[in-house]
Amino acid sequence: MFILGLTGGIGSGKSAVSDYLGKQGITVVDADIIAHRLTADGSPLLISLKEALGDWVLDGQGRYDRAAVRARVFNDPQTLDRLNAIIHPAIHQAILDELNGSQSAYTILSVPLLFEGRHKSPNLLSLCDHVLVVDTSAETQRQRAAKRDGHDPAQIQAIIDKQISRAQRLALAQDIGADILVNDKTLDDLHQALDTLHQNYLAMAAQHGSK
């Protein structure tokens, strides 16, 4: 199996990349989607979070309150560690299960904080045979995030601050020989670039499978 790691800052266009390659028949394993599914109403993981951390992890309707959790752990590393100790192993196992079930020519593992978690355990970067980094300017990031999610500038900046800087991300990408896709033009331009990359990944996957 050939696993392509996909990462990039908020608003860089990771979803546009995974959506397009998904339409080419490529399986996309998305860590964010898995995390949302695992913390759905009444899920075993959500029950574990409530029992370990308290009712404050739920909103008035009994759903996982991501905004409240983000606010609570922002300046509380001890609670963040307890939260991660519960969530991360479950997400990691679900990711492995989806990867093992993939039948496409190669498989995309989309993780927003792929580089940020490189020194942690479990380390999702170690699962990847190759990495694609989607890059764009900080101003474009802010504009896209505001339009897509409706976040105000302070919320967007808080998310950006949790991620490594653009310069750090690009330096790490170069260090590991990752592809860097600059997504600062039209959607058609993005698709054209992805058509070329897709053919490259098919060839890389075929070579990987022949070893």
User: In this predicted model, what pLDDT tens digit does every residue of 183-192 receive, in sequence order?
Assistant: 999 999 999 9
In this model, does residue 210 exceed pLDDT 70? no
At residue 94, the pLDDT reads: 96
- Measured CA to CA, the distance from residue 95 to residue 124 in angstroms comes to 9
Mean predicted lDDT score pLDDT of the chain = 92
Q: Model pTM?
A: 0.91
Cα–Cα distance measured from residue 178 to residue 157, given in angstroms and rounded to the nearest whole number: 26
**Dihedral angle computed from the Cα positions of residues 38, 42, 44 and 48, in that order, rounded to the nearest 10 degrees:** 100
Binding residues for ATP: 11-16
Res 209: pLDDT: 81
Q: Which domains does the chain have, with CATH numbers?
A: 1-26+106-210 (3.40.50.300), 38-103 (3.40.50.300)
CA distance linking residue 158 with residue 161, whole number of Å: 5
Which residues make up each annotated binding site? 11-16
Could you report the per-residue pLDDT of 80-107, keeping only the tens digit for each?
Answer: 999 989 999 999 999 999 999 999 999 9
Q: Is the pLDDT of residue 155 over 80?
A: no
User: How far is residue 102's CA from residue 116's CA, in Å, rounded to a whole number?
Assistant: 25
Q: Would you state the pLDDT for residue 139?
A: 85
- Classified as helix, coil or strand, 138 is helix
Distance CA 70, CA 75 (A): 9
Q: What pLDDT does 204 receive?
A: 98
